[in-house]
Amino acid sequence: MYVAVKGGEAAIENAHKLLAEDRRGDPDVPELTVAQIREQLSLAVDRVMTEGSVYDPDLAALALKQARGDQVEAIFLLRAYRTTLPRFAVSKPIDTARMQVSRRISSCFKDMPGGQLLGPTFDYTHRLLDFSLLAKGEAPQAEGNGGSVADALPQVVDLLNAEGLIEQEKPDPDDAPVGDLTREPLLLPAGRDVRLQNLARADEGYLLALGYSTQRGYARSHPFVGEIRSGEVSVEIDVPELGFSVDIGDITVTECQMVNQFRGSKTEPPKFTRGYGLSFGYAERKAMAMALVDRALRAEELGEDVTAPAQDQEFVLYHADNVEASGFVQHLKLPHHVDFQSELTLVRTMRAEIAAEREEALREAAQ
Amino acid sequence: MTIQQSYAATATVAGYNFAFLDEQTKRMIRRAILKAVAIPGYQVPFGSREMPLPYGWGTGGMQVTAAVIGKNDVLKVIDQGADDTTNAVSIRRFFTRMTGVATTEKTREATLIQTRHRVPEMPLTENQILVYQVPIPEPLRWLEPRESETRKMHALSEYGVMHVKLYEDISRHGHISTAYDYPVMVNGRYLMRCSPIPKFDTPKLHMNAALQLFGAGREKRIYAVPPYTEVKPLDFEDHPFQIERWPETCALCNAEDSFLDEVILDDRGGRMFVCSDTDYCSERQAAGHRGRMAAPYKEEAAQ
Amino acid sequence: MTMLSSAPSSSAPPAGFSDPVQQSQASFRALLDAMARPGRIASIAGDIGRPDGVTQALAAAALTLCDLDTPVWLGPGFDTPALKNWLRFHTGAPVVAQAGAAQFALLNAGQPLPNLENFAQGSDEAPEKGATLLIQVATLQGKTAMQWRGPGIKDGVAMPPCGLPMAFWQQRAALSAAFPRGLDLYLCCSTDLIGLPRSTAITFATEA
C-alpha cells in the first residue's frame, strides 16, 4: 500500500519559520537595526539601490536585513516593491555639473579647474584587516568636510571640447521620448537610452567581467578615466500648473566618464569617444564597468567591427539583469519530474530498440 | 464542499491593489492578451513586471492570471499536475491573499487554472481559461539564440530549421528526441512552444473548448491559443507524432489513459507508477477504481 | 497625491466606472471572451457613466483598454468635445488627428466610416501593432449575410451584417490576405458586443 506525501503548505510555512530563525542568528547577539545597516554598510545599500532602481536608503537597508545580507535577494525585494509604486511625475535630467562633489578624480590630467578631490575611497588603503574594528572604535574625524565649495565644477571631458577633440553628446534630434525598460520590453536594436538603463540595473559582477574583458583585448577601446565624480545632485520635476520646476530632494550619485581612443573613419578625423556610467551612492566600481561596457556596445554606431562578447548588444543586454538570471537559474530547483518522466520514457525506448537491434545482429552473425 | 473561500471577496492584503498589479499594468497586459488571442500562436512582447516571486517560477503565468482574474472566479493552481506541489501551493496562496477569490483542487469546479508543465486530464469546458507558465517562449531558441533572427523567421513563417532538426533526430536516433515542450503549428501559421508539457499533453491543445493563455515573465512575451483552434505537432509521414506509453496502469486508480509519474520505492529497482494529475486520480478512486497498490477506499472524515 | 488639474466644474464629464478595479476586470472578461469566440455575443452589465450617444459596451471597452500609452482616433460623429473630454478625463489617452497613428479607434457606424486601410495594420515582424477598432452599431441582428470561420469558431458561424454596409464587410474580408497584419474589431450595441479578430476569415453567401 502506498500513500502519497502531501503537506506542501505545512512544509513551506515551516521553511519560512526556519528562515526567520536563521536570519536572526544567535539571539544573545544584539539585533541589527535598519539604521545601522544604512549607516555602516552603506556601500551594500548603494548597490541594492542602484540595481533595485529605487533611491531609498532605508528600504534598501531593510531589504538587506530581510535578505540576510544577500545582495541579489535584497535587489529583488526592492524591485518587487517598486513594481507596485504609482508614477507621479517624470524628473528632469539631473545636472551632474552642478553636483556638490565629495570625490572627483581624473586620470587624464595632473590637475584641472576645480582640482582633484580624493574623498572617501578605499583606493590607497593597505588591505590589512583592521583588528581595532573588532572592538568598539571611536569614529575618527576627517579634517575638513571633504566637500566641494564650488557651485559648479566643469566636466573634465567637456574641457576637451574646446579643441573639438571629443565627440559631442547631443540629445536625439527627433525629440523621441526616453525609453523605459520597466514599462516596455527590450526590443532590438536598442537605443543608447535603453542600453544605459539596462546597464544601470545590470548585475555589478557581470558588468565587471565584461568591462574587464574589453581591457584584455576583447573589443579593446583604450579607455582612460576622463572623470569620476561622486556627490549630491538635486532632482527636479516640472509642474506644468506652476510654470516652473520644483526641487524635490537630493540624491547621491557616482558618475564615470570614460574617454576612449577613436582612430577616425573616412568621414571623421581621429578623436576621443565616450563611455558613460552612473550609479546611486558610491557604487564606483559599477559606474566604471558600466562605462566600459557602454562604450563597447557603441561599436556598431562608431563603425567598428562587432567581434567581442561585450560588443554584442543582444548577448549583453539579455543577460545583464540579476533578478531575471537568478530566478531562472534557481528555478531548476522546482520539481521537473513530469519532463524528466518524458525523457526517461524516451531514453528507455531508444535503449530497448538499440538492444534489440544488437541482439538481432548477433543472431544473424551466428547463423 | 471543496471550494475554499478564504476571505470576503473584497478583502485583500492592505496596501496592495486587487490581484497585486496596479490598474495601468493590468491594462497593458490585457491589451497584450487580446492581441495574442487575435493572432494565435504569435508571441506578443509585453512590459513584464517584477513579481514578488522569482522569474522562472511562474511570473508570466501569474501576471496573466492577475490581469484576468475577477472576484467570481474559482482558481486552481497545479505544478506537475498536482495541486499540492510547493510552487503550486505558493502561487495559490499568493492569489488567495491578493484577491480573496475562491480556490479549488477540482478541475471541474475551476473557472481559471494556472498550470506548470501539465494539462489536466479531464477535458476542459468553454467556461474555463487555462494559463500556462512559460520559461522560454521561443520555439526556435535552441536552434537560433538571437531574438532578432527568430523574429524574422516568424515573420516569414520560415521554419525549415525546425524540420531539419527533427529530421536529424530521426536519422541519428530513429526517433524525434523531443519528449516535452514539443513544437506545434498553430492555425497553420505560427510555430509555437507549448511550454514544457510532456508530449502526452500536446494533443490536448488541439481544438480545446477552453481559451489557453501563455505567459513568459522573464522573456516578456504573452501568447494564446483560442478555443477550437488547430494545433498540430510537427512530424513526418513516416514518423508520425506519438505520445508516451507506460508498461503499467496507475497503481492507485488503475487509469490507463493518464500521464504517470514514476515513484522509486527502494534502492533495488522497485518502482510504481501513479497519475501525475492528482485530482483526476482521486476522482477515479472516489468512483471506486482501484490500482494494485491502493488502500481500500473509505470516505474521508469531514475536515 | 492630489490632482493638480481638472478640478470638477459644472461641465465635468460623466462618471465612467464607479468601481474601476472590478468593472474594468468584468468588462475585460467580456472583451476577452468576445475576441476568443468571434460571432458570439458578450455583455457588459452594471451602470457605466458615459456621454450621450455612446453605448455602454463601447464606453466600457474604451475605459478598460485605453490610457496614457494608447493613442486614440475618434471617427465622424464621435469627434465631439463631450466624448473627448470624457475620454481624456477617465483614461488620459491622447487623441490623435491621424487614423494611422491610433492604437484604438472609436467609430460610429451611423456615420460614414473611413476606409479600413487608413488604420495601422502592424508589420509581419510586429503584427500586434495593428489597431483595434471599437465600432458602435445600431444592431447585432439581421439576415445572414456571411460566414465567419477561424480560431475560436467551432464550425463556422452565419452572421448578419450587424448594421454595417456590405462594402465594409468586403473591405474587412480582403484584409485576411495580409494576415498576420490586420485589424481587430469590436462591434458594440447597447450592452452587447461581438469580437472580430483578424484571424477570422469571412466568406459571403454567393461564394459558397
HEC string of chain A equals CCCCCCCHHHHHHHHHHHHHHHHHCCCCCCCCCHHHHHHHCHHHHHHHHHHHCCCCHHHHHHHHHHCCCCHHHHHHHHHHHHHCCCCCCCECCCCHHHCEEEEEECCCCCCCCCCCECCCCCCCCCCCCCHHHHCCCCCCCCCCCCCCCCCCCCCHHHHHHHHCCECCCCCCCCCCCCCCCCCCCCCCCCCHHHHHHHHHHCCHHHHHHHHHHHHCCCCCCCEEEEEEEEEEEEEEEEECCCCEEEEEEEEEEEEEEEEEEECCCCCCCCEEEEEEEEEECCCHHHHHHHHHHHHHHCCCCCCCCCCCHHHCHHHHHHCCCHHHHHHHHHHHHCCCHHHHHHHHHHHHHHHHHHHHHHHHHHHHHHC
* pLDDT (0 to 100) of residue B63: 97
Cα separation of B205 and B211, whole Å? Answer: 10
- Backbone phi, psi, residue C196, to 5°: -140, 90
Which candidate from C29, C35, C128 shows the least CB-CB separation from B44?
C128
* Contact status of C154 with chain B (Cβ, < 8 Å): yes
Cα separation of C197 and C183, whole Å? Answer: 7
Q: Which range, of A205-209, B3-7, B131-135, C66-70, averages the lowest pLDDT?
A: B3-7
* pLDDT (0 to 100) of residue A166: 86
* Contact status of B52 with chain C (Cβ, < 8 Å): no
Residue spans of alpha helices (H) in C37-104? 56-65, 81-91
* pLDDT (0 to 100) of residue B41: 98
* pLDDT (0 to 100) of residue B297: 55
* Contact status of B146 with chain C (Cβ, < 8 Å): no
User: Mutate which of B16, B44, B50 to test chain A, going by most A C-beta atoms within 10 A?
Assistant: B50
Contact assignment for C4 to A239 by CB distance below 8 Å:
yes
Contact assignment for C4 to A241 by CB distance below 8 Å:
yes
The per-type count for chain B, helices as H runs and strands as E runs, is: 6, 12
Is pLDDT of B299 > 60?
no
- The residue among B78, B74, B73 whose CA lies nearest residue B61 is B78
A288 to chain C, closest Cα gap in Å: 35
* pLDDT (0 to 100) of residue A108: 86
Active site includes B253?
A: yes
* pLDDT (0 to 100) of residue A144: 60
Chain length of chain A: 367
Give the predicted TM-score (pTM) of the model.
0.88
Provide the 8-state DSSP code for B213: E
Mean pLDDT of B195-210: 97
* Contact status of B111 with chain A (Cβ, < 8 Å): no
Cis peptide before C180 (omega within 30 of 0): yes
Closest residue of chain A to C2, computed from CA coordinates: A88
* Options B58, B81, B275, B291, the catalytic residue: B275
* pLDDT (0 to 100) of residue A2: 57
- The residue among C126, C150, C189, C123 whose CA lies nearest residue C38 is C150
Active site includes B250?
A: yes
Question: Which chains are within 8 Å of A by 3+ CB pairs?
Answer: B, C
Chain pair A-B, CB pairs under 8 angstroms: 157
What contacts A4, CB < 8 A, 6 or more positions away? B252, B274, B278
Which candidate from A82, A187, A342 shows the least CB-CB separation from B50?
A82
Which candidate from B45, B70, B187 shows the least CB-CB separation from C25?
B70
Contact assignment for B56 to A331 by CB distance below 8 Å:
yes
* Options B160, B253, B270, B291, the catalytic residue: B253
Is pLDDT of B6 > 60?
no
Question: Which chains are within 8 Å of B by 3+ CB pairs?
Answer: A, C
Amino acid at B149: E
Cα separation of C40 and A76, whole Å? Answer: 43
Taking only the tens place, the pLDDT of each residue in B250-269 is 999 999 999 999 888 888 88
Whether the CB-CB separation of B220 and A318 falls below 8 Å is answered with no
* Beta-bridge mates of residue C201: C149
A345 — pLDDT class (breaks 50, 70, 90): confident
How crowded is the C-beta side of C155, counted as CA atoms within 13 Å? 1
Q: Is the predicted ipTM greater than 0.90, yes or no?
A: yes
Q: Which three cell numbers stand for residue A354?
A: 538499440
Q: Beta C184-189 vs C192-196: how paired, if at all?
A: antiparallel
Contact assignment for B246 to A2 by CB distance below 8 Å:
no
Whether the CB-CB separation of A206 and A285 falls below 8 Å is answered with no
Mean pLDDT of C87-110: 96
Closest residue of chain B to C68, computed from CA coordinates: B24
Three-class DSSP category at C56: helix
Closest residue of chain A to B272, computed from CA coordinates: A2
B56 to chain C, closest Cα gap in Å: 25
* pLDDT (0 to 100) of residue B298: 55
Cα separation of B140 and B153, whole Å? Answer: 9
* Contact status of C177 with chain B (Cβ, < 8 Å): no
Question: What residues of A are in contact with residue B221 (Cβ under 8 Å)?
Answer: 185
Contact assignment for A241 to C5 by CB distance below 8 Å:
yes
* pLDDT (0 to 100) of residue C5: 41
Closest residue of chain C to B127, computed from CA coordinates: C33
Taking only the tens place, the pLDDT of each residue in A73-111 is 999 999 999 988 877 788 999 999 999 999 999 988 888
Taking only the tens place, the pLDDT of each residue in A213-245 is 999 889 877 899 999 999 999 999 988 778 888
- More confident site: A110 or C155: C155
Active site includes B194?
A: no
Is pLDDT of B301 > 50?
no
What contacts C142, CB < 8 A, 6 or more positions away? C160, C161, C162, C163
Cα separation of C34 and C47, whole Å? Answer: 20
Is pLDDT of C131 > 80?
yes
Q: Which three cell numbers stand for residue B125?
A: 469546458
Q: Which three cell numbers stand for residue C185?
A: 474589431
Closest residue of chain B to C129, computed from CA coordinates: B35
Question: What residues of A are in contact with residue B51 (Cβ under 8 Å)?
Answer: 80, 83
